Amino acid sequence: MEWESDEKELKATGAEALGGGRRGLRIGGWEIESRNHSILTSFVLQEWHAVASWTWDAQDETCGICRMDFDGCCPDCKLPGDDCPLIWGSCNHAFHLHCILKWVNSQTPQAHCPMCRREWQFKG
Amino acid sequence: MTSPSASSRKALSKIACNRLQKELVEWQVNPPAGFKHKVTDNLQRWIIEVTGAPGTLYAGETYQLQVDFPEHYPMEAPQVIFVPPAPPHPHIYSNGHICLDILYDSWSPAMTVSSICISLLSMLSSSPAKQRPADNDRYVKNCKNGRSPKETRWWFHDDKV
CB A111 within 8 A of CB A122: no
Please check whether residue B101 touches A, CB under 8 A: no
Whole-number pLDDT of residue A6: 65
The neighbouring-strand residues paired with A122 are A89
The residue type of A6 is D
Whole-number pLDDT of residue A38: 47
Of A67, A75, A102, the CB nearest to B14: A75
Tens digit of each residue's pLDDT (9 = 90 or more) over B145-155: 778 898 888 88
With CB atoms and an 8 Å threshold, state whether A75 touches B75.
no
The residue segments making up the domain with residue A32 are 2-41
Q: What is the pTM of this model?
A: 0.76
Q: Go through B87-114 and write b for each residue having 16 or more CB atoms within 10 A of its CB, e for each that does not.
A: bebbbbbbbbbbbbebbbeebbbbbbbb
Q: In a 3-state reduction of DSSP, which class is residue B150?
A: helix
C-alpha R_g of chain A? 23
Under an 8 Å CB criterion, which residues of A touch B? 64-68, 74-76, 99, 102-103, 106, 112, 114-115, 117
Q: Provide the phi-psi class of B10: left if phi over 0, else alpha when psi is between -120 and 50, else beta.
A: beta
* Same-domain status, A37 and A61: no
Instruction: Report the relative pairing of strands B35-38 and B45-51 from DSSP bridges.
Output: antiparallel
With CB atoms and an 8 Å threshold, state whether B15 touches A76.
yes
Q: Residue B7's pLDDT band (boundaries 50, 70, 90)?
A: very low
Question: What are the start-end ranges of the E strands in chain A?
Answer: 15-19, 22-27, 30-34, 86-88, 94-96
Q: In sequence order, which ranges of chain B are alpha helices (DSSP H)?
A: 14-29, 113-125, 136-142
Residue B49's φ and ψ, nearest 5 degrees, are -95, 130
- Identify the architecture of domain B4-151 in CATH: Roll (3.10)
* Same-domain status, A8 and A65: no
With CB atoms and an 8 Å threshold, state whether A114 touches B22.
no
Helix crossing, B14-29 with B113-125: angle to 10°?
60
Q: Which chain B residues are Cβ-neighbours of A115 within 8 angstroms?
A: 108, 110
Residue A79 covered by a domain: yes
* Same-domain status, A82 and A30: no
* Same-domain status, A66 and A104: yes
The residue type of A117 is R
Contacts of A37 (CB under 8 A, 6+ apart): A1
Min mean pLDDT across A76-90, B91-105, B125-139 is at: A76-90
Does the structure show a pLDDT above 60 at B8?
no
Residue A51 covered by a domain: no
Tens digit of each residue's pLDDT (9 = 90 or more) over B29-38: 999 999 999 9
With CB atoms and an 8 Å threshold, state whether B76 touches A117.
no
Q: Provide the phi-psi class of A115: left if phi over 0, else alpha when psi is between -120 and 50, else beta.
A: alpha
CB A89 within 8 A of CB A82: no
| 10-residue averages of pLDDT along chain A (124 residues) | 60 77 75 60 64 69 92 88 90 94 93 96 90
* Same-domain status, A63 and A100: yes
Q: How many domains does chain A have?
A: 2
If you average pLDDT over every residue of chain B, what do you get?
91
Task: Count the residues in chain B.
Answer: 161
Find the CATH number of the domain harbouring A91.
3.30.40.10
ipTM: 0.83
CB B147 within 8 A of CB B101: no
Chain A interface mutation, best of B12, B14, B15, highest count of A Cβ atoms under 10 Å? B15
Domain ranges of chain B: 4-151
Q: Calculate mean pLDDT across residues B69-98.
A: 97
Whole-number pLDDT of residue A107: 93
* CB interface of B with A, residues 22-81, below 8 Å: 22-23, 72, 74-76
Rounded to a whole number of angstroms, the distance from the CA of A47 to the nearest CA of chain B is 31
Q: What is the DSSP letter of A23?
A: E
Q: In a 3-state reduction of DSSP, which class is residue B38?
A: strand
Other C-beta atoms lying within 10 Å of the C-beta of residue B141: 9
